Structure 1
Amino acid sequence: MTSTYTAKDISVLEGLDPVRKRPGMYIGGVGSAGLHHLVWEILDNSVDEAMNGHATEINVILHDDGTSMTISDNGRGIPVDIHPKLKKSALEIILTTLHAGGKFEGQNYKTSGGLHGVGASVVNALSKKLVATVKKDGKLYEQSFKLGKPIAPIKKMGAARGSGTTIYFHPDPTIFPKTEFNPDTIRDRLEIVSYIHKGVKVVWDDQVNKKKEVFQHNEGIVNYLTKILAQRNAHPVHDQAFVLEKENGIGVQIILQWTESTDEHIRSYVNGIPTASGGSHENGMRAGMTKALRNYIEIHKLTPRG
């Protein structure tokens, strides 16, 4: 500790250095939750493509080493052309620059989850290796990274059919004390994704346990409610669930069913992201439901007398 404090003592962290220096600020910590947050960030990018009508399938692989993942989709593919201002490929900019992405203006994505221009670059910064593969405009492109820095410029690998993005990443063991992913945690999240985004095909390939599953639910949250009732052994008091789906600038989906249980059970999501702590959407639902029930009771004179 020195007694002097001058300009030379000021450190400037550039690029992705802040992420590696203080990962907890970006993913909440370096424990199991933080490790799996890397998966959610890449997964949410694929989900955003599906949520906006550009992708129909998401594939997630936990490789047999248990410490590396590959997530791919058949969406539009991350742009690979050269950015007019930064003179680098858009792919490299997105994966090496904080707050770079196509979700800020609202033109490319009507709705989106994730960290809005932070997620993919944070995953890259905290991975000892990341490989991005993009199929776009009939060609296949690839670029590899180490600790958040490009190993080489983007390469054109040849011709390709279709479009989409594939991200392989291996978390950095110098950042995370434990880099083994929990297959059950990932599987559960993927199954929920398939319920929330009806019709989207989610393929889960657990190479550690040699299991492969396909999740796809054409009835979406209706199927999800059925599963929840069975899990909780809750017996409905009416056959038909109440379902509401509206799109008026903001899309809303709600499904309700009363059961013999004396406690309430609510699961809520915003842009596909679980909101375990609730929020204005839950508060609004409760207030609206209470008002509707009270009005019904008053109109039909069902208030108990005596």
Structure 2
Amino acid sequence: MSAEGKSEDLRYFPLLDSVRKRPAMYFGGIGSLAINNAIYELIANAIDQYLMGHATKIKVVIDGSIIKVSDDGRGFPFDVNAPIEECSNLVEFYCLYRHNLPTADHHAPHIHILAGGLGLAVVNAASEYIKVKSSDGHRVYRQSFGGGQVRSACEAESVVSDKGTELELVVDRELFQTSLPDMPALRKTLFELVHFYPGLTIEFQEERFLTERGLLDLAFVRYSPSSAGYSLGVPRQFYYEGADSGVQIQVAALGCFDSTEYKSWVNGIETVEGGVHIDGLETAFIKAGWRPKLALIHVIMHDPQYAGPCKDALCAPKVANVVEKLVGESLAQLLTDSH
């Protein structure tokens, strides 16, 4: 494959000119929310580390136009060769070339935040600079990128240190109306995000977000009891985490009502029109004889073909069966224990 990205299958391609000519097409605009989307891409990479069991904490610090995102994962693959000669390591490859695969290295599961993934190459193309500092526990690597280019060669120092990666980003003001993120929207997203991944800590400025009960805690935040129901005390509640056939689910439900409000996400993205995961969840509740007032479900699909951005509705048929089976078994046990 040449520097122009030519290959027989066109899996990888440069996109510098495209991003810089039409940044709004990639970032959803050129205002403060677009800066948020760049930040979400850096955070999504850290959450992948959490899902693979390599990270427990993500820290986001905004200091004027300087954005820092760090994690305690296993570090970036500076010691891995790139698939093309033009890049001296795999990190350079990630920062220069976009791929049309779910992930560049086929890792799964892979999640996105809000609208979907951009890729480091897109963020690099729209940046003034990205400084990367990363450690695998035995070596500390440093390298700078910016404007879609490599700004400095990789430097490595042999030293025992904590594992993790820090990315320092400043976006290119020539492409955006501002270099500052929308702080309230960013905080709201990070607060909600931590509920999808119980046990993950997200630090944002001076705050720390952490939940052990995941979507159940979020359900209590969203729950709006009627005046009659409120007088009855704590509502009926249900929480479940489980996995089967490459499908990982987290479910929370609260209250009793004549109709149920469903909220659903797949690989971190809200499925606003529902889909088969809602069908499976609704069937499980009907069989259990319970109609909750609020039900939340997050599905993580481990098959890489589903790791990309999800559409408004999930259409993978096997997910309905997995959700109905796992939730149905847990509900049956819950109802048996309560009698």
TM-score tier after normalising by the smaller chain length = 0.7 to 0.9
Structure 2 CA distance for partners of 1:117 and 1:204, relative to 1, 3 Å: closer
Give 3-state SS (helix, strand or coil) of 2:262's partner.
Answer: coil
After the TM superposition, which residues 124-273 of structure 1 pair with which residues of structure 2 at under 5 Å, given as runs?
124-157=124-157, 159-205=159-205, 212-229=206-223, 232=224, 235=229, 239-248=235-244, 249-259=246-256, 264-273=260-269
Give 3-state SS (helix, strand or coil) of 2:174's partner.
Answer: coil
Aligned to 1:285: 281
Alpha-carbon distance in 1 for matches of 2:116, 2:254: 34
Following superposition, the deviation at residue 142 of structure 1 comes to 1.0
Following superposition, the deviation at residue 27 of structure 1 comes to 2.4
Alpha-carbon distance in 2 for matches of 1:180, 1:74: 25
Alpha-carbon distance in 2 for matches of 1:116, 1:142: 28
Following superposition, the deviation at residue 283 of structure 1 comes to 4.3
Alpha-carbon distance in 2 for matches of 1:104, 1:153: 22
Matched-pair contact (CA < 8 Å) for 2:82–2:89: no
**The 10-residue stretch of structure 1 (69-78 or 183-192) with the greater mean CA deviation from structure 2:** 183-192
Alpha-carbon distance in 2 for matches of 1:126, 1:263: 46
Give 3-state SS (helix, strand or coil) of 2:30's partner.
Answer: coil
Matched-pair contact (CA < 8 Å) for 2:96–2:124: yes
Matched-pair contact (CA < 8 Å) for 1:104–1:116: no
Alpha-carbon distance in 1 for matches of 2:204, 2:148: 26
Matched-pair contact (CA < 8 Å) for 1:95–1:120: yes
Aligned to 1:298: none
Following superposition, the deviation at residue 275 of structure 1 comes to 3.4
Read off the aligned partner of 2:262 and give its amino acid letter.
Answer: I
Aligned to 1:91: 91
Matched-pair contact (CA < 8 Å) for 2:144–2:152: yes
Matched-pair contact (CA < 8 Å) for 1:103–1:117: no
Matched-pair contact (CA < 8 Å) for 1:94–1:100: no
Aligned to 1:109: 108
Give 3-state SS (helix, strand or coil) of 2:98's partner.
Answer: coil
Greater Rg over alpha carbons, structure: 1
Structure 2 CA distance for partners of 1:154 and 1:102, relative to 1, 3 Å: farther
Read off the aligned partner of 1:97 and give its amino acid letter.
Answer: Y
Alpha-carbon distance in 1 for matches of 2:14, 2:142: 25
Read off the aligned partner of 2:281 and give its amino acid letter.
Answer: M
Alpha-carbon distance in 2 for matches of 1:201, 1:225: 19
Alpha-carbon distance in 1 for matches of 2:69, 2:82: 29
TM-score by length of 1: 0.77
Percent identity at matched positions?
26
Read off the aligned partner of 2:212 and give its amino acid letter.
Answer: N
Following superposition, the deviation at residue 105 of structure 1 comes to 6.1
Following superposition, the deviation at residue 141 of structure 1 comes to 0.8
For these two proteins, the number of residue pairs brought into alignment is 271
TM-score by length of 2: 0.70
Instruction: Name stretches of at least 5 consecutive residues in structure 2 with no aligned partner.
Output: 1-12, 291-339
Matched-pair contact (CA < 8 Å) for 1:243–1:256: yes
